Amino acid sequence: MKTRCFALAALVMLSSLSSSAFASTLPGRNGPVAAISSSRRIGIVTPAHRLRIVKSIRLREEFLLDLSFSPDGESIAYAEASAGLPSFLTLLDLSTGDVKGVGTHDIGVNNLSYLANGKIVFSGSRRNNRPPRGTFEVDGNGGHLHRLFGAKELAASADGRWFVSAGARSYRSLFLLDAHGRRKARVTPAPNSAYNYREPTFSPDGRWIAYERVVERNGRYRSDIFIVRRDGTHRRRLTHNGASAQPVFSPDGRWLAFTQSDGRSFFGNLHALLVQHPSREKVLTRIPKASLQHPIWATEPG
């Protein structure tokens, strides 16, 4: 399996530190990190801190949205959009380079993620946000498409029991939903007009949620990463640089990969920090003028 050799050697030797406030109960083996480079290329991080491009979208009017590794780390699901049309779901086999479209009828795909059972969940709606809209689930081969509930999810736990959604009209709050779309807890603090909360992601065991808090100051957007228990308690700020966004947990639950801006654009190179000790940070890519987006982290293929 070719992706095995692109596992991040710098992240293999992980700390054995423990914490009563943070623990991962479903550890996996940390495999490669992937991301979108510009809006039309998917790349996998190499030990040389670069990207090996595994997929390029050549048509000018098309672009890529979200990414998600399959549970076995051998394929990537992504949303691909064309101008004026709903985004559609595509699967990329990393060993062969083959791509396959997954039928979702005319429902546009966003915020997609694989579940541990191989199914894919996503938020979707038809053009102009017409019904049906909400959170959907589909088999990896495109079968058994059905709507789970009416709210649009932003993140799903690997077991499919928990979801995160935003408020109906804004990103001033993030909420925990159960598998039926019922609100169970407010994940973020009470709404504050200065802050938006975006890009939530679950830890592998579903107990923790990381997200970015965005604030606009003097016409510039500043973003930092926070972590909180699923019930909204034990909130903790992990970055203080105003340049960190789009966090994603490692398969063992102990690291967060994220984008860090260099000030020229909202996105930048990829970094990783140890959740228990966020001052322990690693640089994953060193690409001049990088604008990487939507990092994902795979389990090392067995």
Q: What is the pLDDT of residues 98-132, one digit of tens each?
A: 999 888 877 889 999 999 999 999 998 876 666 67
pTM of the prediction? 0.88
CB 31 within 8 A of CB 297: yes
- The reported pLDDT for the residue numbered 59 is 65
Instruction: Assess if CATH 2.40.30.10 describes domain 2-9+24-299.
Output: no
CB 294 within 8 A of CB 67: yes
> How far is Cα 146 from Cα 149, in angstroms, rounded to an integer?
9
**pLDDT bracket for residue 96 (50, 70, 90):** very high
* Three-state helix/strand/coil letters over 87-101: CEEEEEECCCCCEEE
- The reported pLDDT for the residue numbered 17 is 32
Task: Specify the DSSP class assigned to residue 232.
Answer: S
| Ranges of each domain in the chain | 2-9+24-299
Give me the mean pLDDT over the 275-280 stretch.
93
> How far is Cα 131 from Cα 44, in angstroms, rounded to an integer?
36
Predicted confidence (pLDDT) at residue 38 exceeds the cutoff of 90: no
Helix (H, G, I), strand (E, B) or coil at 117: coil
> How far is Cα 250 from Cα 240, in angstroms, rounded to an integer?
21
- The reported pLDDT for the residue numbered 6 is 38
Distances 223 to 110, 240, 246 between C-alpha atoms, Å: 22, 9, 9
For residues 68-80, one letter each, b for 16 or more C-beta atoms within 10 angstroms of the residue's C-beta and e for the rest, the string is bbbbebbbbbbbb
Give me the mean pLDDT over the 16-29 stretch.
52
Q: What is the pLDDT of residues 42-74, one digit of tens each?
A: 999 999 999 999 999 876 667 788 899 999 999
CB 167 within 8 A of CB 153: no
Predicted confidence (pLDDT) at residue 40 exceeds the cutoff of 70: yes
- State the amino acid at position 212 in one-letter form: E
- The reported pLDDT for the residue numbered 116 is 94
Task: Please state whether the peptide bond connecting residue 71 to the residue before it is cis, i.e. omega within 30 degrees of 0.
Answer: no
- The reported pLDDT for the residue numbered 23 is 53
Q: What is the pLDDT of residues 189-211, one digit of tens each?
A: 988 888 999 999 999 999 999 99
Lowest mean pLDDT among 95-99, 266-270, 285-289: 266-270
Going by C-alpha positions, the residue among 42, 53, 26 that lies closest to residue 295 is 42
- The reported pLDDT for the residue numbered 10 is 35
Q: What are phi and psi of 197, to 5 degrees?
A: -120, 125
Helix (H, G, I), strand (E, B) or coil at 3: helix
**pLDDT bracket for residue 11 (50, 70, 90):** very low
- The reported pLDDT for the residue numbered 27 is 63
* Three-state helix/strand/coil letters over 156-191: ECCCCCEEEEECCCCCCCEEEEECCCCEEEECCCCC
Task: Specify the DSSP class assigned to residue 258.
Answer: E
- The reported pLDDT for the residue numbered 233 is 95
